[in-house]
Amino acid sequence: MSQPKVFITRRLPTQLEQLQEIASIEVWTERQPPPYEILLEKIQSIDGLLCLLTDRIDRQLLEAATSLKVISQMAVGYDNIDIPAATSQQIPVGHTPGVLTDATADFAWALLMAAARRVVEADRFTRAGEWRTWEPDLLLGPNITGATLGIVGFGRIGQAVARRAKGFEMRILYTSRHRCEPELEQSLAVEFVAFDRLLCESDFVTIHTPLSEDTYHLFSDREFEQMKPSSILINTSRGAVVDPDGLYQALSTGQIAGAALDVTEPEPIPMDSSLLTLDNVIIAPHLGSASRQTREKMANMAIENLMAGLRGDRLPYCVNPEVY
Ligand code: DGY
């Protein structure tokens, strides 16, 4: 009997031996993702797809997938995949929750500290030969210790950010669709507040909500108007949660003091984006989960999901369990 066919849309930071024993594998080895037309061609003859957040898996693609038994995404977020379409085709979709929580919270924290204490500007300043003496008012930023942190979205990553904030003796506010248990609130020393109050009172606002119809451009003119002029916005979730034009306006007019983004709309950020002209924004190329150990775990988890799907077993980390 011939082996099931699998297409993997990029080189993975792990070994494929186990998968090779049960499937015939094709790996897309280019640095850029496979173009949509290639995906459309491949999807017609494969049993399993291992994809990344840069691959658009839409209804048209899924309707062409007549033999596909499983989609396994190497990411926790899956807004690039039309889940209702996959579900209507009875295709289980896997993702990688949990393993990237700490790495992403660490990176949100790195961005917060870099933006507050102007680390990127300081490095540019030094390399430009501007460091001539110690100056009492050089590159000043706000205090982090003791400041108010507003966390928007309080799932695993939001909570991990709160745990770190506790060590900085911060006042921690959060807003979320669901309020968490009083015991958890107490142990993390967090206060549940309405979104608008969080915006008005926070010195730092960090976004950890998935992208959905409800969170698309959640941060736009109205929200920036409510934030403190001294506040700093951190986004490690999805770029489209923030309206880039509104953010440019807010940063360039002093409505907010700074921003640090690991994600942008679109990705990659176009080189003519007005945001790139500003000194008070730091932009990283979507690195939240980019620790070696985390990326390896994500790849292994994605393979685990893929193999389960090929065997016809329930995916251990399934986004649409209603297919079963
Ligand atoms: C995810 O997993 O959704 C991140 O954005 C990439 O690690």
- Residues having CB within 6 Å of any atom of ligand 1: 53, 75-77, 100, 288-289
Query: What's the average model confidence in pLDDT over 14-35?
Result: 97
Are 308 and 161 found together in one domain? no
pLDDT of residue 192: 98
Is the model's pLDDT at 142 over the cut of 90? yes
Distance CA 106, CA 239 (A): 18
Question: Is residue 48 domain-resident?
Answer: yes
Question: If you measure from the C-alpha of residue 287 to the centroid of ligand 1, how many angstroms do you get, rounded to a whole number?
Answer: 8
| DSSP tag of 200 | H
Residue with tokens 């108007």: 225
pLDDT of residue 248: 98
Judge whether 104 and 291 are in contact, CB under 8 Å: no
pLDDT of residue 268: 97
Judge whether 252 and 275 are in contact, CB under 8 Å: no
Are 118 and 255 found together in one domain? yes
Question: Is residue 288 domain-resident?
Answer: no
Are 71 and 110 found together in one domain? no
Are 65 and 205 found together in one domain? no
Is the model's pLDDT at 265 over the cut of 80? yes
pLDDT tens-digit readout, 35-74 = 999 999 999 999 999 999 999 999 999 999 999 999 999 9
Are 86 and 75 found together in one domain? yes
Is the model's pLDDT at 199 over the cut of 80? yes
Query: What's the average model confidence in pLDDT over 302-319?
Result: 98
Are 56 and 160 found together in one domain? no
Residue 322 confidence class, pLDDT cut points 50, 70, 90: very high
Question: Is residue 43 domain-resident?
Answer: yes
Atom of ligand 1 lying closest to residue 288 CA = 7
Question: Is residue 209 domain-resident?
Answer: yes
Query: What's the average model confidence in pLDDT over 108-137?
Result: 98
Is the model's pLDDT at 160 over the cut of 90? yes
17 catalytic, yes or no?
no
Rounded to the nearest 5 degrees, what angle is found at the Cα of 224, between the Cα atoms of 218 and 225? 125
Are 108 and 255 found together in one domain? yes
Query: What's the average model confidence in pLDDT over 171-189?
Result: 97
Are 9 and 90 found together in one domain? yes
Question: Is residue 27 domain-resident?
Answer: yes
Question: How far is residue 213 from each of residues 21, 172, 216, 218, measured CA to CA in Å?
Answer: 41, 27, 5, 10
Query: What's the average model confidence in pLDDT over 72-91?
Result: 98
pLDDT of residue 221: 98
User: Mean of the per-residue pLDDT values for the chain?
Assistant: 98
Q: Which of 238, 265, 295, 304 is catalytic?
A: 238
Question: Is residue 10 domain-resident?
Answer: yes
Residue 284 confidence class, pLDDT cut points 50, 70, 90: very high
Judge whether 216 and 241 are in contact, CB under 8 Å: yes
Query: What's the average model confidence in pLDDT over 279-301?
Result: 98
Residue 182 structural domain:
101-283
Question: Is residue 239 domain-resident?
Answer: yes
pLDDT > 90 in the chain, percent: 99
Query: What's the average model confidence in pLDDT over 246-255?
Result: 98
- Name the residue at shortest CA distance from atom 3 of ligand 1: 77
Are 215 and 131 found together in one domain? yes
pLDDT tens-digit readout, 200-216 = 999 999 999 999 999 99
- Name the residue at shortest CA distance from atom 4 of ligand 1: 75
pLDDT of residue 137: 98
Distance CA 7, CA 38 (A): 11
Q: Total structural domains in the chain?
A: 2
Is the model's pLDDT at 1 over the cut of 80? no
Q: What is the pTM of this model?
A: 0.97
Atom of ligand 1 lying closest to residue 289 CA = 7
Query: What's the average model confidence in pLDDT over 184-202?
Result: 98
Are 90 and 225 found together in one domain? no
Question: If you measure from the C-alpha of residue 261 to the centroid of ligand 1, how many angstroms do you get, rounded to a whole number?
Answer: 14
pLDDT > 70 in the chain, percent: 100
In this structure, what CATH number is given to the domain that contains residue 85? 3.40.50.720
Are 78 and 177 found together in one domain? no
pLDDT of residue 193: 98
Are 245 and 199 found together in one domain? yes
Residue with tokens 């003119």: 221
Question: Is residue 131 domain-resident?
Answer: yes
